[in-house]
Each structure stands twice: as C-alpha cells, then as structure tokens.
Chain A
Amino acid sequence: MGASQSVRTEHEFQDVADRTGFSLEQIGNLNKRFRQLSKNEETLSRQDLASISALDNNPLRAQIINAFFDKRNLRENEAGTVQVIGFEEFLMVMSHFRPAAMHITEEEREKLRREKLRFVFNMHDTDSDGTITLEEYRRAVEELLSKAGTIGQETAKAIADAAMLEVASTTRGKMEPDEFYEGITFENFLQILKTFDIETRMHIRFLNMDTATMRCGK
C-alpha cells in the first residue's frame, strides 16, 4: 500500500495464492481485470461492477453485485455489507467459483460443497438472519423470473411456495398443523440440495487466458 500501489510483488501474490488457492497466473489475470474494472484504483465499488454491460440482461444482476460486497462472503462472520472491496476480497469471492481438483478426499469435497452452497445461501438470505424465509425465497424466485414477463411473475410465487413446501416436508416430515416452519436453515439447504452436484457445476474456467486483452464487456 502507499507508494507502491500499482505494483504488487510476487511475494504478496504468493501469500494471496496460498490463502485463496489460485495459481499465480490466475491471480495475475484477475488482477488485470480488477484494475480494469476499478479504473486503476485500489478498491472496487458497486458502481464499478454495475457498469459492466455483460450483466445488463442478467436477472440476478443486483444479487450478484451484492454478493461481492457481502461481508459473509468475505470470511467475516458478521452480517452487513461493505462499501468497497480490495483485490484480496475480490479474490476471496471469486474463490467460491474454483473448480474442484481432481483428486480430493471426501472430506475436502464436502467442505467445498458447503462453501459453495453457503455462497448461494447467502445470496438468498438477504437479511442475514441465517434462515431463508418464505418471503425471501419468493423474492429470489421472482427475481429469477423477472425477465420472463408477466407469466413469470404470476407463477413465481406459486413456485416459491411449492419449493418451500418441499423443503419443509423433506426436512421436517411430519408437522402438526399448529407448528410453524420458520424458514430454511443452512443445514436444511444442504439437505435438499444433496443430490445437486454443485461442486462440479459451480465453477468458472479460469483458463490461462489474458482477460484484459480480450474484448471484455466493460
């Protein structure tokens, strides 16, 4: 920091590499992209992300941008959001999208699953209370179908309700009519997505491509 802002040493990158698990080359590429997005500043703000044109047609645009600034994704166990993020935080969020290595133990695979599912969970759980309530889930589904026109909006609620019912009956089974199911906890979330192979699906290929020189959406 300070005078040597624009030059990151190999040593510092190595630190980051160890912490986040990226290779040096990937970090180099991502750093270039970071610089491009932040217009050569040290930190990235919401505005910078919001200006990416590739996100324009994405129904999850707002949630994705929020996810980068969500403290829960930045390894801090507190709720709330930050205003700006540095490169290391950027990498931390990106590390959720690393593919699984070929030979990993069952334990590591489970850990990876939890990590990725936690990211998705955090995206749904907007008030950071640890559970996804019916309202939050409804909103999530509505956002998902927001580009689908009126048909989408009308059935979004029904879909969210049906999904919620499914979670409740899978995790709680029998419930007295008087009982109330508060919301999806993280453990429930893991349970219903047990057969969903997120560890293989949620990844981006950080190929050894020089992203800054490609014609990237700004």
Chain B
Amino acid sequence: MSVHALRKSASSSFVFVGIGLPIEASAPAYQSHGTEGSHLTNITNTKKAFPVLAVNYEHVRKPFEIALWILLALLMKLGFHLIPRLSAVVPESCLLIVVGLLVGGLIKVIGEEPPVLDSQLFFLCLLPPIILDAGYFLPIRPFTENVGTILVFAVIGTLWNAFFMGGLLYALCQIESVGLSGVDLLACLLFGSIVSAVDPVAVLAVFEEIHINELVHILVFGESLLNDAVTVVLYNLFEEFSKVGTVTVLDVFLGVVCFFVVSLGGVLVGAIYGFLAAFTSRFTSHTRVIEPLFVFLYSYMAYLSSEMFHLSGIMALIACGVVMRPYVEANISHKSYTTIKYFLKMWSSVSETLIFIFLGVSTVAGPHAWNWTFVITTVILCLVSRVLGVIGLTFIINKFRIVKLTKKDQFIVAYGGLRGAIAFSLGYLLSNSHQMRNLFLTAIITVIFFTVFVQGMTIRPLVELLAVKKKKESKPSINEEIHTEFLDHLLTGVEGVCGHYGHYHWKEKLNRFNKTYVKRWLIAGENFKEPELIAFYRKMELKQAIMMVESGQLPSVLPSTISMQNIQPRAIPRVSKKREEEIRRILRANLQNNKQKMRSRSYSRHTLFDADEEDDVSEVRLRKTKMEMERRMSHYLTVPANRESPRPGVRRVRFESDNQVFSADSFPTVHFEQPSPPSTPDAVSLEEEVPKRPSLKADIEGPRGNASDNHQGELDYQRLARCLSDPGPNKDKEDDDPFMSC
C-alpha cells in the first residue's frame, strides 16, 4: 500500500515496465516520507509479493488521451470513406462535427467534463499545419494573377462585413424587446469582426470536394488566407477599446497603421525565414534525412515569431512557404520532397479532422446563452452582408480586370464564404469578464454550423445546377506548355514595343533578377539555369517512363500508334559514325540531367498521385530503357529529309519488351518494329544495338554493345543508382526549375 503511496507522490521517477517492475530512480523519495521510511524498510525486508501487474494511468494520462483522440478522429475519417453514399452527399466536415457532438454528448452523459477546443492548442498546434500545407502548395500563377482581386476581397470585404454586421446588431440591440440593451457598440463591433472572416479551414474542407474552376477556388481560398491580418487587427483593436470604452480618431488612425504593420510585418517575417530555409537547404546534400525537418521547423518558427509580435501568423506562414519552395525544391532530394509532401498532407488532415470534432464537442460542452433574435439575425446578416459585399466589390473590381467575374463566379464566391473554427477560437479567447461572451459564443457556433452544414452541403448540388465551370481535368500537354512560355515572351516583347511597362515587363524583370542574383545564393550547384519548359518536359518523360513500368507486361492496347516515322520524312538510316557518337553524347548529357521527380498538383487533401515508384531497380531499368528509346528516336531524327521510298529491307527496329506506353491519354509512344536481318550495309550500326534488347528486360548491368557505349552506360548506371538512393554522397544532379508551379 505504501508502495503505492510512494509511487503516487514520487515525481515521475518511476519507470513502469509492463510486467510491473517498479524501478526507483530518486533517493529523496525515501526521505520525504520519514515515518514511512522505516515502514518501507520493513516492507523491503519482509518478502512481499512482487507486483507483476499494476496500473498507473496518471502517468500516461495526457499523451494517452491525446493519442486516443487522434485515433478516434482518424477512425471516424476512415469510416466515412467506407460508406460510399454518405461521403458523396455530405461533406466530411459536417460528419466530423456530428461525430464531435455525439462524443461530447457521450462524455457529458458519463458525467465528465468534455474538453473544449482550447484556443492555445488551436492556434499553436492545430492551425499551423493546415496553413503551411496551403501555403506551400499554393498555386503561384493563378494566385499572382488575381492577387489584386484577392486583396480587395480580403481586406475591404472583411472590413465591410465586420462593420455592417456590428452596426446592424448594435441597432438591433437598441430595440427594447430584444432584451440586450446592455450591449454597446464596441462589443457588437468586436463580435462583427470575429464573425466576419472567411475561414480557410472550412473553405479548404468544402471546396476540395467540389472541384470548382481554378479562378473561383483561388479567389475564395486566397481571401480566406489573407483576411487574417484584418481579423487580427480588428479583433485586437476592438478588444482593447471595449475595455476602455471610447474611441478617438487617433485610435482609428493607429488602427490603420497597425493593419499595415501586421500584414507586411507578417509577410516580412515569413520571407526572412523562407530565405533562411532556402539557404540552409543549399548545404544539406550530405544529410538528406533531416531535410524535411528544416522546412517544417523554419516555417513553424516563422509562425511563432510573428505571433510573438502580434503580427499575422498566417501570412507569415504563407509567405515562408511560398518564398522557400522554389529554392528548397531545387536543392532537396526526391525522397525529401515526397516526405515533405506526405507529412504536410498528413498533419493538415489530422488537424482538420481534430478541429471539426472538437468543434462538435465544444458545442456540447460550452456555456450557452441563447437569444433567438440575436442569433437568427446574426446568421441572416452574415449571408446578407457577404452577398452585398461580393456584388459591390465585384462591380468595382470588374472595371480593372481583363477576365471579368461572371454572375456565377460571384455567387460561388459569396456562397463559399464559410465561417469556421478560427471564429470560434477567437470568441473563446474573449476573457470571461466580457459579459456577452456566452451569447457571442453561441451565436458564433450557430453561424459556423449554418455555414458548414447548410452552405457546405448545398454548394455541391448548386454548382451542378448552375453549371459552374469545373476544374479543367486536363492532362499536361507539351504543346500547351510550349505556348505558355511562348506567350510569356511574346507578350513581354509586344509590351516593350508599345513602350508599356506592364504586367509582363515586371514579371520578366523579377525573373531575371531572381535568376542572376537570388538563385545563385540559394540553390546548390549548377541547377539554377533550367527554364520551366525543360523541367516540364522532363516531368512528362518521367511520367511516361513510370507508366511504362507500371503497365508492365501488358500487350499493346493501341493498335497502331504514331511514331517518329510518321512525322519524320522517310529516309534511309544512313548515319555516320561520327554523327552517331555525337547523338550519343548529347543523349548522355540529356540523361545525366534527367530528374527522378514527379511533381503533381497538390490541391487535394485526400489523394496524392501514387505513381511515385520508389523501387530503385525498376527505376533504373526504366531509365535505361528510356535511354535506349531516346537513342533510337534520335537515330531516326537526324536523318536528312528526303522523301524517297524506303529501300527494300530497310531496318525498322522493334522495340518491344516491357516498355511500351499505352495509356491513351499519355505521351505518344515511340514504336519501332522488329528488325529484319540486315540486308543493307548501312544498317550495320543498328545491328549492334539489337542484341541490347534482351538485356533490358532482365538486368541492370547496362547494355552490351559497343564497347565505348557500354562503358559509358555503366558509368551512367552507377551515377543513376547514386542519384536514386538517399542520402547520395555524390553531387545529386537534381535540378528543377523553381518556378515550375506544381
């Protein structure tokens, strides 16, 4: 018994192994129990039964509960996706809130106090992963193209919402019958500012499932991210004022200044940490394993640092992710990139799930003060002010936009303005002395429920109904990519001709500055010169090669494919030795610069392209076969363009085995036919390549064939193997263009 007492009072100096062997680590434990000491010695002297099994829950209580909650959340998530019909109709966020309600109810029934979504936990642990995930994978091109619109919505829209709602609620409270005459203007404005901000978590959760077109998605999403600065300032402002009770002009002016400080300061802090991260990643070539940690830690530090100064943490996080990404991705290895991607998705997924569940639980737990009029009015006003704000602002914005926002776009932007957990947490942060706290919390929760349930559930059928443009499910087309780059340069040039220093001019200047100065410092090795088009092309090649591996031994699906022969004018494969050597040299150089990465658009929380084939052997194999294919392709390409009918018996090399590309939507295949016995002397060089074919299937020793080629092949293979495995001691030639927006 006294042993138990000792255990309880000792300050964690016991290591409790499963079989129940208590190990005392601190001597003072004895002394602190003076009288018990002799008792204890008695006990140790008399042979007591060895405690084989005992329970010490207190010891592990906190981590145990945390782990249990997370596990519960994930099991719920798992469950939803197993029920097909449910997940198609109801967005996940709703289901999770319902689960939270149930769990909260259960806990209350048991008699315990359900945990409430602690604001500190929320802001410091649950929110950052989601925001970092959003910021790191932010699609840069659409974002920068629409940044003006996004800022207008974020800043002016939120201000309008806050003041409109606050003002009208104050007016409401003046009406005697409501019974809330004690509420003063500042309190209402404070409430308005809390409820007015569109919430990124909720937006992400709902919009992810409806696959709306890119423009609307980035507008709503960008707005939800950038309005944090406004929310922070307004919240702090009104909270300060509501304590004091009066507002002067100076205060308002300071408020405006504060806004700029908060937002720009946040961005600056984020950018600084971003550059630090990029710079650090330059030197990580020998310690690849910890690369992801740098990304995470620097970002988290950016968030915490800016929170410390009351700057906008969300903007800092976004800025950090955006700044760091191009450079870090050029420096880190493929596996680190995958790790970062997966971890971010994982953490943000868990966070989101936990947030919604806790929201449900907090609803059951929290103290409530219900006032019909107030709450209903809040909900209605939310909708009304949002709609009015969007319509009004779009009217003004459309004067400046080239691609105008249509009515449908406006509707979705207005309807997609969901409120979420940030509003709740801000409300929860209100000190208890605030008289209206409970009322406000109730109203906030109702608004959140309304937006998430009603708007979240109905937005999908509405999108279908209104036939809003969906996300382009387009496969990457190399022609489009060529023309994107082409158009960039063309427009820059024409702008130069008309003497107009426009959009493209500054973009070009920024690119050049970036290339000459910044990349030099932040990217390791010689990797900073590659243009976007080449990176894109390599990515396509890799995708094709991976698909080749995956389709394995399947027979050809396409009956006949267009091959190089069809586009290249027919001619005799008369290639001189010298030329052949030249081709091989070029191909080798090309091959050495090839990357093993496959970057994919990472909007979705739930799915990631799973074609990352990490199997070294198969990668090398496909790399080899790709090289072979390229070699052959180039062989035919360098032939002069005379359209003669083919000489009889002209060699056509069939290149079968496991390396045919079939998917109809993919890269066109290069399809060569079975070699016939050589009948023309010129085809001698090809003959030597033929025996290589069987070797490609089985082994990775490199092609047998020309001696020089073989040797070089061996070197290539070795270099590749090193490139693929992690950590790579040699210089990992893993270059990718920073501005490849994936």
Q: Which residues of A contact B (CB under 8 A)?
A: 30, 33, 36-37, 49, 52, 54-55, 57-61, 64, 68, 94, 97, 99, 102, 120, 123, 134-135, 140-141, 144-145, 147-149, 151-152, 154-155, 157-159, 161-169, 172-177, 179-181, 192-193, 195-196, 198, 200-207, 209, 211-212, 214, 216-217
Q: How far is the CB of A60 from chain B (nearest CB, A)?
A: 5
The listed residue (B497, B563, B570, B593) touching A52 by CB distance below 8 A is: B497
The residues of A that contact B404 with a CB separation of less than 8 Å are 102
A164 to B76, CA, bound (A): 50
B637 at the interface (CB under 8 A from A): yes
- B570: nearest chain-A partner, CB-CB: A180
A196 to B499, CA, bound (A): 27
Pick out which of these stretches binds chain A: B458-466, B530-538, B711-719.
Answer: B530-538
Contact B667 A202 (CB under 8 A): no
A33 to B498, CA, bound (A): 6
B602 at the interface (CB under 8 A from A): no
Contact B667 A162 (CB under 8 A): yes
Contact B537 A64 (CB under 8 A): no
A57 to B634, CA, bound (A): 31
B482 at the interface (CB under 8 A from A): yes
Contact A159 B537 (CB under 8 A): yes
A sample of 28 cross-chain residue pairs with beta-carbon separation below 8 angstroms, ordered by A number, consists of: A33-B499, A52-B496, A61-B493, A64-B490, A97-B494, A102-B404, A120-B486, A144-B486, A145-B533, A154-B590, A158-B537, A159-B537, A161-B633, A165-B667, A167-B479, A168-B567, A172-B562, A173-B562, A175-B562, A180-B643, A193-B480, A195-B477, A200-B403, A201-B487, A202-B487, A205-B402, A206-B500, A211-B499
| Smallest CB-CB A-B distances: 4 pairs | A54-B496, A216-B499, A169-B668, A64-B493
Contact A99 B489 (CB under 8 A): no
A217 to B24, CA, bound (A): 81
A69 to B372, CA, bound (A): 73
17 new A-B contacts at CB < 8 Å, known A144-B533, A172-B566: A52-B496, A55-B493, A57-B512, A60-B493, A102-B398, A163-B479, A166-B479, A166-B668, A168-B562, A168-B566, A168-B567, A177-B560, A180-B569, A181-B562, A196-B483, A196-B484, A206-B500
Contact B478 A195 (CB under 8 A): no
Contact B668 A154 (CB under 8 A): no
Contact A205 B503 (CB under 8 A): yes
Contact B637 A175 (CB under 8 A): no
**Given that A57-B512, A145-B533, A159-B537 are known contacts, is A36 also in contact with B562, CB under 8 Å in the complex?**
no
The residues of A that contact B534 with a CB separation of less than 8 Å are 145, 148, 151-152, 155, 159
The residues of B that contact A37 with a CB separation of less than 8 Å are 497, 499
B8 at the interface (CB under 8 A from A): no
Q: Which residues of B contact A (CB under 8 A)?
A: 398, 402-404, 472, 474, 477-480, 482-487, 489-503, 505, 508, 512, 529-531, 533-534, 537, 540, 559-570, 586, 589-590, 593, 630, 633-634, 637, 641, 643, 652, 667-668, 670, 673
**Given that A36-B499, A55-B497, A99-B402 are known contacts, is A162 also in contact with B487, CB under 8 Å in the complex?**
no
The listed residue (B531, B562, B567) touching A148 by CB distance below 8 A is: B531
- B486: nearest chain-A partner, CB-CB: A144
Contact A168 B668 (CB under 8 A): yes
The residues of A that contact B505 with a CB separation of less than 8 Å are 54
Contact B630 A212 (CB under 8 A): no
Contact B500 A205 (CB under 8 A): yes
- A96: nearest chain-B partner, CB-CB: B494
Max count, chain B CB within 10 A of own CB: residue among A33, A158, A175, A201: A158
A211 to B505, CA, bound (A): 14
Max count, chain A CB within 10 A of own CB: residue among B486, B503, B505: B486
The residues of A that contact B402 with a CB separation of less than 8 Å are 99, 200, 203, 205
The residues of B that contact A198 with a CB separation of less than 8 Å are 483, 487
Contact B477 A159 (CB under 8 A): no
